[in-house]
Structure 1
Amino acid sequence: MVAFGKKLKDRQIEEWRGYYINYKLMKKKVKRYAQQIKEGTLDRRHVLKDFSIMLDNQIEKIVLFLLEQQGLLASRIAKLGQRHDALQHQPDISQISELREAYRQVGRDLLKLLFFVEINAIGLRKILKKFDKRFGYRFTDYYVKTRANHPYSQLQQVFKHVGVGAVVGAVSRNLHELQDRQGSYLSIYDQPSVPLQDPVIDSIKAAVDRLTHSTNFLSFLGQHALILQEEFPTPVEEQADDQRYHFMSLLLNLANTFLYMVNTYIIVPTADDYSISLGAAATVCGVVIGAMAVAQVFSSVYFSAWSNRSYFKPLIFSSIALFVGNTLYALAYDLNSIWVLLIGRLFCGLGSARAVNRRYISDCVPLRIRMQASAGFVSASALGMACGPALAAFLQTNFKIYKLTFNQNTLPGWVMAVAWLIYLVWLCISFKEPLREDEEIHIQQESSGGKAESDALEKGLKQPLLITSEDKKADEDDDHDIDESEEAIDESRRPATSIGSAYRLLTPSVKVQLLIYFMLKYAMEILLSESSVITTYYFGWSTSSVAIFLACLGLTVLPVNILVGSYISNMFEDRQILLASEILVFVGIVMSFHIIIPYSVAQYVVSGLVMFVSAEVLEGVNLSLLSRVMSSRLSRGTYNGGLLSTEAGTLARVIADGTITLAGYLGDSKLLNVTLLPSLVICISSIAATCYTYNSLY
């Protein structure tokens, strides 16, 4: 892979070259600081001051150029506005088409400017990470705290753009008025429901959203999937994705996700009763529920590796394993064996293909719809989580066919076994294995000869700079100055090859994000897995009542994400929402403790709702930040960021379910407080860690 500095240079626009962040110069400066500190000729305080001044100058150069270009665009729009006003009195079809194209050209130039800012923003984040990694300082924390929060902050101008928003609005409004109306206009402010169908405006809005991290419901929901993307997606990658994409195959992956989550939570309301019927304690339900997660710790790794070669075969294996596992789960009642029950759940966990589902979206779905597909992945999980307990509520019956018993304990297994058998048939009929990379390259080489030239903007982004012989010599001299170890760091862009190498890529900020993810999954698993035992002990709830409660919790996922994704995330920074959500999870945990006697239904329901909803909000924001602070090397390969987050969440579930079973030996009366105590400790630790790394989450 190409080093970041080379990739950054190749993306620059030639005539603006002098206004980009000088990444190579700052990288050399970092190397020189290291040598001087080692020689004892420079102290750390001087390094912080000198590097801060250099960054200030670089940012000021970017911001002033940005403001200058905004002014030029505004001047062009003002002149076009005069022509627009004249056409309202004397409409002319040819002039309207010409004016519309002139506005589109302004939009294309605005898009160039947005890409300019985006590349500089990426460069700033990269150099801050490099400095922290090289020296072990918390320089990013210091720099962001002193610059980003200052009233005259120029750093904020690189990430928040009121002026750009005004230009976007002007271009959008005028193009909308000229769209298919031939001189008879209605304002977008009067009819906001009428969409503007123009690819230039769509590209501009997407670029602004990426730059400011603005979200809507779909993008916020999609963040839960942690489907990492390359920082510089190219049209070639987009074309390859189109060749690999197959709608029915995507639908089958989403169906697999949905059925797996139904399979996970359909047993939660009855696991305690099933354990008792097999001669075990009610709290053994923790092991029964957690057995699936134990196997998932291992299945996530081999499914992730398997998806490097195929998507179809892992899904076939997943369906067969889940069919066998659910059949064993159902047969355990008539065999009167808790071990058959646990083996069945282990088989179900071995069939967890979520790594394949996520990988298919990341690798095979085109960029233009990848966010919608990611949101579909998360929605399928949320709906499955709600439908599992709800379905269990309807399986309240008891009958026998020959020697097989069908009751509330065994029916979840039989129903899911039939569901996976139907899914397996559908999979064999409809799934299309996508092309592998070597096949794509061959097809692209065959089709490249007849491909038409792209528009001027695209060419400006794709073509490398025209470097003079003097520039080339200077670059070679610069590269010679960089030592081999530093060059190796930049040019080693290969994916991590093991869990250990992936772990070594984790910065303190990433480790904190994974801790937060562990905490929220632990707290949610404690709440859900012990709900049947707790509500039966304190309130005497029936299986149907527990199922309805769990289903209602699951149904809050989509409305909460609509609220946060469409409104709250656009009003506050992600790191602010992150910390607030952690505090609310802490409040929900504290409220859940059995301190006041008697323990009321209202206390349990309200505290559970606060904890669950806060954890859902926290998950989306946490994974959004994780995707930004995580190394780009973790966006590819078997040991990627998605796998790490899955492993962290799965381990949390395993430990939480084990905690429930162990706490059961102390008696049902102490179960609630004993299981909540670790949640409280981990939550406090994550809040403290967030505060420590707060200014690096930028």
Structure 2
Amino acid sequence: MSELGINMHRCSFQTEKCGKTKSSCWRRILVCDFRAVLIHFSGNDSAFRLLLDFLFLNPSLDFPPPPSISQIVSLCILGLLEEWQGYYINYKLMKKKVKQYAQQMEVGTQDRRHVLKDFSRMLDNQIEKIVLFLLEQQGLLASRIAKLDERLDALQEEPEISQITELREAYRAAGQDLLRLLYFVEINAIGLRKILKKFDKRFGYRFTDYYVKTRANHPYSQLQQVFKHVGIGAVVGAISRNLHELQDRQGRSYLSIYDQPVIPLQDPVVDSIKAAVDRLSNSTNFLNFLAQHALIMQEELPAPIEEQVDDSNYHFMSLILNLANTFLYMVNTYIVVPTADDYSMSLGAAATVCGIVIGAMAVAQVFSSVYFSAWSNRSYFRPLIFSSVALFLGNTLYALAYDLQSLWVLLIGRLCCGLGSARAVNRRYISDCVPLKIRMQASAGFVSASALGMACGPALAGLLQTKFKIYKLTFNQNTLPGWVMAVAWLIYLIWLCISFREPPRENEENAPQESNQVQNDTLENGLHQPLLITSLEKPSDEDDDPEVDDSEEAPEESRLPVTSFGAAYRLLTPSVKVQLLIYFMLKYAMEVLLSESSVVTTYYFRWSTSSVAIFLACLGLTVLPVNIFVGSYISNMFEDRQILLVSEILVLIGILLSFNVIIPYSVVQYVGSGLIMFVSAEVLEGVNLALLSRVMSSRLSRGTYNGGLLSTEAGTIARVIADGTITLAGYLGRSMLLNVTLIPSLFICVVSIVATCYTYNSLY
């Protein structure tokens, strides 16, 4: 603690005496002080966090605002062990090499083949350097743990408490060194991904696909050892098991329970190691897999600072209100599906007009998602108020259309409901205002609320099979869904006004934009220096590369969100486009299955509204059990891209089995094929969004035009087209409806499978 105080006092003193601007002087002192503290850092995680908090969060220090979280953590990790500096990926050298290749190709002194060969060789050398060092450090750690195991075996049944404490601290120190090694691998994996993206963007060549394809599947490949931990699991298991055993022995060594100190059930070091291993190996569990459906993107290598910032904005009841909004909206979407065809016929339209009735909500959602996403930059409360009012009015109009005998009132009501879609706000609230430590649970809650709403909507419609009149208002199976949802949204609106708390936004409102940008640039330029004093003696080394890096790795631009769909589209790599196509395909197939279910089952099987409602509710109830199974077991046994491809093939099989050809159409065929298609699409959605969040540019993780909005728009447009297809196919007659609507699903599914195979090796 005293050393931290001395360092900060020296920093403040030198800043006051500095003859240059405070920002530039702060830059030099920051680098020196980080190095001074980090080379003495012996693994005391709490002291290290305290230093970061003091440097970047103390409002009494009039220093420029901090850089991004990922920059801070990356730099701090790089400085943890000075002797490791030579083993990191030399990103700066490769970046200059890419620029040099571009200049040489412009003047014609180099051809593309030579560039690819030379850059591939450079990458191979960098990866070999990383992997050999990784294996060496693993060996040292293994030897160290083996010696500690010998000391543990030598302990008697009732050893001295001091011996147990000493041995426990030795295991913790080994665990902290393992954690540093995991961060070392993760930093290099991030650097490798970034330089590959940079090369592709500069030359317009699919080098990433070529490089991963030729290296990842080779028997002597070292690439997978960077992206997947090798041998780390045994070390993690040994450390956690022995720490737990020592904790038990220490507890038995005390004479009384009152002598025992309060010890956490699991050592924090073990928790940190397991989190790092999971992040590095892409292994997952049910909660993580479920959270991936929300596509709430997070920064790489999140730091403790982020948790403290988030805590000030977090309000539990506000989170519950956002999840309730998600649940009610999904109920509102699917509660009309079992009765939409009957409602259309009662107003004098064809049964297949149900496609327009159901799809009108999705049409409006295409536009509402954009303005709600932009609105959430300034407020969360006002968009939710608007959403509740729009949905209350929309459902009221939907219910009144029966007595007014107006199809237009019905459609306007559904459009109003779509204009109240605040899912972009719900996602944004979780991303911005929920602490990192519970963000995964909140994201899983978002998906669970959606799945529950999808199941409850049709089930509720099945219960509303009654008919009565109050004054001139008719209440029956067609109008009751509208009246019930109108009352639900009115109650929600009152609850919202009473309980919601708007998160504070003082920093965004009070800080001058221009001043902050200048200060950010100044500090970032300083933080690009290596954390070594020797680097400060060679400032020209940073200035000899005047390249303006416009790629996604550029620190200044990577922190700025895109401002238009055009800018967002330019950031989409082929892999991202394929993932969005897959998302479009699965939403199209699911919408066709759900929206035409009432028409198809009535025509082929003479099902009642209650039977259709039960079928749709059962489909919705499969979401959580399937995700539990996939998230807990399947995703830990296979790679995401393997699950992705298999799920697409299963969706294709479900579509093929749904066609009515040759043999008479049966309930078993319809229900079985629908179940295969729906369950496979649900699994596909989770894996697809997980891969999408990894291959998408970090600039799309925030702002109005973020990754969540792009996926929402892709899915919503798919639903609109699917519902429109149902209505158009209705003109060919009910007998043709099923096969005609399945043909586009089949075509898009085949195209998405081909595209997945084409980009398969870039999905990592």
TM-score (norm 1): 0.92
Q: 1:550 aligns with which of 595, 616, 623?
A: 616
Question: Residues 75 and 531 of structure 2 are in contact (CA less than 8 Å); yes or no, is this contact kept in structure 1?
Answer: no
Confirm whether residue 688 of structure 1 aligns to residue 754 of structure 2. Answer: yes
What is the CA–CA distance in structure 2 between the aligned matches of 1:489 and 1:464, rounded to whole Å? 16
Kindly indicate whether residue 232 of structure 2 is the aligned counterpart of residue 164 of structure 1: yes
Find the partner of 1:422 among 487, 491, 503. 491
Cα shift readout 1:195-242 (whole Å, capped 9, x = no counterpart): 952221111111111111101001011111111111242222221011
Q: Structure 2: how far apart are the matches of 1:118 and 1:256?
A: 37
- Asked if 1:278 is matched to 2:343, the reply is no
For residues 217-616 of structure 1, what are the structure 2 equivalents within 5 Å? 217-436=286-505, 438=507, 465-469=530-534, 471-472=535-536, 474=538, 476-484=540-548, 490=554, 491-493=556-558, 494-616=560-682
Give the whole-Å Cα distance in 2 for the aligned partners of 1:240 and 1:574.
32
Q: Which residue type is aligned with residue 542 of structure 1?
A: S
Asked whether the 8 Å contact 1:9–1:464 carries over to 2, the reply is no
Q: Which moved more, 1:491-500 or 1:613-622?
A: 491-500
- Residue by residue over 1:115-163, the C-alpha shift from the partner in whole angstroms, topping out at 9 and shown as x without a partner, is 1111100111111111111112221111111111112211111122231
**SS at 2:373's partner residue?**
helix
CA distance in 1, matches of 2:157, 2:489: 66
Q: 1:697 offset after TM fit, Å? A: 1.1
**Equivalent residue in structure 1 for 2:119, among 51, 71, 83:** 51
- Compared CA separation, residues 246 and 68, structure 1 to 2 (3 A): same
Counterpart pick for 2:271 among 178, 186, 202: 202
| Match of residue 112 from structure 1 | 180
Q: Which moved more, 1:505-514 or 1:93-102?
A: 93-102
CA distance in 2, matches of 1:113, 1:569: 25
Deviates more, 1:102-111 or 1:518-527: 102-111
Separation of aligned partners in 2, 1:260 and 1:543: 21
> Within 1, Cα distance between the matches of 2:217 and 2:580?
26
Q: 1:3 to 1:421 in 2, by over 3 A?
A: closer
Aligned-residue offset at 1:4: 8.8
Q: How many residues align?
A: 670
C-alpha deviations, 1:614-643, integer Å up to 9, x for none?
111111111111111110000010100000
Tell me, yes or no, if the aligned pair for 1:509 and 1:696 is still in contact at 8 Å. yes
Shift of 1:653: 0.4
**Cα deviation digits, residues 13-36 of structure 1 (max 9, x gap):** 333111110011111111111111
Residue identity (%):
82
C-alpha displacement of 1:468:
2.5
Structure 1 residue runs without a partner (length 5+): 186-194, 443-461
Match of 1:672 among 722, 729, 738: 738
CA distance in 2, matches of 1:30, 1:508: 21
2:155 counterpart SS class: helix
Q: Deviation per CA, 1:513-536, whole angstroms, max 9, x where unpaired?
A: 111100100000000000000000
SS at the partner of 2:474? Answer: strand
Return the alpha-carbon distance in structure 2 between the equivalents of residues 328 and 487 of structure 1.
49
Shift of 1:105: 1.9
Cα distance between partner residues in 1 of 2:71 and 2:430: 29
| Contact 2:77/2:180, CA 8 A, preserved across alignment | no
Describe the superposition over 1:425-475 as per-residue Cα deviations: whole angstroms up to 9, x where unpaired: 111111111122607999xxxxxxxxxxxxxxxxxxx99853234x23556
> How far has the Cα of 1:332 moved from its partner?
0.9
Distance 1:3 1:50 in 2: 34
Superposition deviation, residue 374 in structure 1: 0.7
Deviations 1:279-337 (A, max 9, x none): 11101100000010011011101111111111111111111111111111111111111
8 Å CA contact 1:311–1:360 kept in 2: the answer is yes
Q: Is the 8 A contact 1:593 1:676 kept in 2?
A: yes
Q: CA RMSD in A?
A: 2.2
CA distance in 1, matches of 2:343, 2:543: 67
Task: Give the structure 2 partner of residue 190 of structure 1.
Answer: none
Unaligned runs of 5+ in 2: 1-66, 254-263, 512-526
2:106 paired with 1:26 = no
- 8 Å CA contact 1:496–1:633 kept in 2: the answer is yes
* Structure 2 residue aligned with 1:142: 210
Contact 1:28 1:482 in 2 (8 A): no
SS of 1:197's partner is: coil
Q: Does the aligned pair in 1 maintain the 2:582–2:752 contact within 8 Å?
A: yes
1:215–1:569 Cα contact (<8 Å) kept: yes
1:176/1:433 CA distance change after superposition, 3 Å: same
1:179 aligns with 2:247: yes
Task: Select between 536-545 and 426-435 the one with higher mean Cα deviation.
Answer: 426-435
Mark the CA change 1:489 to 1:208 in structure 2 (over 3 Å): closer, same or farther: closer
Q: Is the 1:96–1:183 contact (alpha carbons within 8 Å) kept by the matching residues of 2? A: no
Aligned residue type for 1:204: I
Deviation string for 1:61-86 (max 9, x for gaps)? 11111112112222222222223223
State whether residues 241 and 366 of structure 1, in contact with CA within 8 Å, keep that contact through their aligned partners in structure 2: yes
